[in-house]
Structure 1
Amino acid sequence: MKPVFSLLLVMIFARSYAQNIGINATGATPHASAMLDVSSTTKGFLAPRMTTAQRTAITSPAIGLMVYDTDTNNFWFFNGVSWTQVSTGSATNYWSANGNDIFNNNSGNVGIGTNTPSEKLTVKAIGNGITHTDGTIKLTTYLGSDAAGDPAGGWLGTASNHPLYFYANGGAPRMSVLTNGNVGIGTTNPISKLSVQTPTNSFGLTHTDGTVTLETYISTGQGWIGTGSNHPLTFFTNGLQQMTITANGNVGIGTGSPANKLQIGALGTSGFNGNDIALGNGTNATGLFQSNSILQVASTTDIAFLTRSNGTGLGNLGINTATPTNQLQIGSVGSTGFNGNNLAVGNGTNATGFAQSNSFLQVASSTNIVFLPQANNGGGRVGINTSTPRAPLDVIDYVAIPNSNYDYLNYGSSLNDIQRCSPCTANVSIRAESAVYAAEFDANSDARIKNVTGMTNSEKDLETINSLRITDYTMKDKVKYGNKPFKKVIAQEVEKVYPQVISTHTDFIPNVYQLTHKVEKTADGYLLTFIKKHNLTRDAKKLKLLSKESKAMEIVDVENIPSDYQVLVKGTNITDEQLFVYGEEVDDFHTVDYEGLTTLNISATQELSKQLKAQQAAIEAQNIKITQLMATIILLKDKRPVAKRHKADKGMAKN
């Protein structure tokens, strides 16, 4: 009766709760989602047990029908098509356990998030997919784009703040990706976006198409990049070839086929091949070649150096110096102050500067200047305006100095008519400010170049010499001459007596010869103010002055003379607070032809000699007459009487 009674209770209970049934020992209500809710803490659910033959003999099994197969010792369920094993591991490749491990030996693919896996393991997910972590370091896969706006794609890396390493053969990391984005190959500490570390004397990066090979190489103390095959190395930008190194070592910039060791641009048909350096624009070219004795610079055009790109004169070029203070400087000029020249040459202590102004080339040196033509081996000559000097110094051409007084041959009247020219222009080849010292002075005096009109009047020349006054004086230019005494003639005085030896020309006189008190820049130039009177004449046109900055005399134009203490001069770049003003330019600067004076002196000396000879002859004639008179007197005395002679002799003796 107990089983029948129990079944009756179950049926009553089931009916009480309509469509779902609960089987339990507590009388708990079955779960609303289950048709049959079996619960127990001491007993299990026992499914129908049958052999494989019995299972497969079930007619029209329902989908989800489950039985326990006693032949396979596993649960089986019907999926609507076939029986499927719920297995802990079998030959049909489902997940199986092996101790603490789990594995799948299914011959098909495994899908996670997909029922159509295309690979042995296919994970279908947007965002993170596979994750490997130890709780701190996280290695993960990712599909899509991240919040930073990076492009969509497949991602593999660390999701934690740790580097990503790639390795092979279970060894050390072969490639590293740091959290800052640096990638290292052969190093776990890349210091740049891509760092490749290899042993010394080994290759690093290689790019090849099977024939051409581009490589990097590290040797002891050197880094190499180039081709490992017999091909040129080319550098390009914007898809265009910019620089090429050929297989024979020639370097080309702007050309892919350099014919010189370094070639910039195309040479065209210039023929400048085989140089050390060549520059070309496709039509013309310049080549530089170093031999054992010279550096050859050859060009199909003119050669110009333009520093700072446009030749404004602001750029300096240095040879053997990294800090040139001159436009072209060879060596160091030390503390000589030779700065701002066009060319300067120095040895670190002394220097020489070359500066070109609008009117002259200035050569200044902190030492003596010596010319050694032909290396001072004898026969060396210096020519001015001549390429074939006939003497150690040969000056060809002359400078026309106006307002000079000299004689000339007047072809306008009778032939050989010597006339006076005042003023005229003197043609001067050499001029010296002070004395010219030489063992001998030779002047042109060949009779074949002269038309002799007669002999000089030596008596008149003696009168002229006697009219000249010799003067003691010192020079006003104390800086140049100091207090050295001179004993010479004054040109203005000589002009009054013997104007033939006086010439006048343009030069500067030291009538100012003082420092300025102030230098003020104005709209019209620079106003110079002095403590003492400047002594300038009212028609002064030019001044010679010394600038501390240039350390050379300069010539400026006079704009105006406001007072005896001020003068306004033109200028564009005067920066000194004080200037030394030498004086003004005059057009009647007097010079003396001392050769003419010497000749005059010779004529006067000859006249004196003639006069002395005449006087000597007269004296000798007078002496003869005196001797004759004395003889006559003695003779007359001998003819007197004896008494008278004695008396006369006594008187003469007494006297």
Structure 2
Amino acid sequence: MNNFIKSCLFAFLSMLTLTVVAQNRTISIQSTFKDISGKPIPDGDQEVTFRLYKEDGSPMWDETTMVDVQSGVFSHLLGSANPFNDLGIFSNKLFLGIKPLGQPELVPRTELTYAPYAMAVNSIAGLDKSASFENIGGHPALKVTSTLTPKDIRSSANNYGDNDTGINFPDDGEMDLICNGIPVMKTFHNTQNFGVHFPQHVGFGPDANNSSLLIGIGDNNTGISHPAEDDLRIVTNGADRITIKPDGKVGIGTSSPNISLAIGDHDTGIKHLADGALAFQTNGTERLRIFDNGRIKIGGDSGNNGAVAPLEVDIEGNTTNSSYRSVVNNTADWKQMWHGTPGCNAFGFIETKCGASGGNFGNVAIGVKGDVVVNGSVVSATGISWSDKRIKNILGISNAKNDLDLIKKIEITDYEHIDKVFNDRRVIKKVIAQQVESLLPNVVSSTRRVIPSVYENATRVDFEKGILTISTNKKHEFIAGDMVELKCFEGRNYREIEVIEVKDEYTFTVKAETDPKEVFVYGKYVDDFRAVDYDAIAMLNVSATQELIRKVEALEAANALLNKSNDSLLKENKMLKDATSSIEARLQKLESLSVKSEASNSVSAVVK
């Protein structure tokens, strides 16, 4: 660049826009650098010293800064590097000198032809009066050198060309707006206040004369009314729409609010309770409260105990045993409670039907038309489902034998969640949707949801021009067009943000508004996230159990027949045993007689 500057003979000020702005006091210039052949110098940054000279050549101000030269053209705000602290220099004719780094100042110097410095006016409307723009207190200001009468500054229109309508400067720092000789608006010395002198009405618009301050747009009864001390009303079509009372209470559609913001009547609306806390009430009864920690409580005795969860529903209703109810404890723990008939158990903060009464749902705390989707658990004492046959087209009784065969094939699996932050951390014993789907596709449904397919911190995050490049240690398995979820430790989280480009199996890009520095890559959204109808599996189990009962009953009947046959056999066996015993006894007698006979014969033989 220095070699080029040596060959640079001149700089053209092709356009010079000169403005001194009260806030930043800068002068905007645009200039062109060309070499000796008239070609623009190469693009790039160039250090340049700008200097303002008086007509006699004495320097008044200078600054050195870098300018960006593109196609030989650069723009710069004089005063951006070295502010014009003394605006008095602009009372002189000034010439601008430009000096590139390491080179002599370019010639000739350029005169600031449109001067942003002091302007003197020798006469106003032919009068022997004067005004000038000068530096007063470090700010450009209009200085009037003599006091003007109402006729000195006035409208020239025929209807208002009189001598008692205009602007008057009665004292130092004061100004009056005069109408027909009456001061209707006044500024006050050493204050930022101004006063309106009309005793009743100030109107903006046609025939605006019915309110203290009336903004009339085509009518005369729309604006701001001040009917009583410290009482302010906003009026349209002659009717009060918004009322602000002396204590700050606001009414919309009511002129007598008794809460912070009443809507429609005096005791329905929003009540400000304390710093960060609001209550919504209707007919004087509080219905909903938002606490300073962001938690919400609906119904019941909202009081000051706070909500034990981000959303707590407390519907007390009556004290019948069949009412749904949740209660507020003095601790943040979920505890067991009793309500109604002793011995009726309730779990957590939800109590369902209990005791002897029944036949209805009691006082319903939450009514929903449609699905309720919960990421965590639903805890209740019981569950009730609609089951009226009049809403059903009954196709028949399920085949219990087939149901038993199916239930034997369903695999009960032990598993843990990958995401243990937003899900249960325990080992869970349940089914797997894909396995159940292979057996019972009608009990498995699909929806759109994010899965923790990556679930790890990014190893590298680069942000440039609205593009976030993210690298992971694990293969992300994304493709361009996938919607992913990113959790950022700084700045906003990104849910369902599109993958713009996949650079490799570990790196991808997305659009981003800011640089989050650190990113946790959760995973991608899928349209086939499975859900299982556990009620259907429970009913399948009922049907299979019924089939098992039939089998058991058949076995029991067969066993009864076997037992009856066994009893007959036992009886027959006993009879045989008895007969055998009798025969054995007779044989023993015969054997005894036989022995005796043989012994007698032996004795007879010896005697002979």
Give the TM-score range, shorter chain: 0.3 to 0.5
Larger Rg: 1
How does the TM-score come out when normalised to structure 1?
0.43
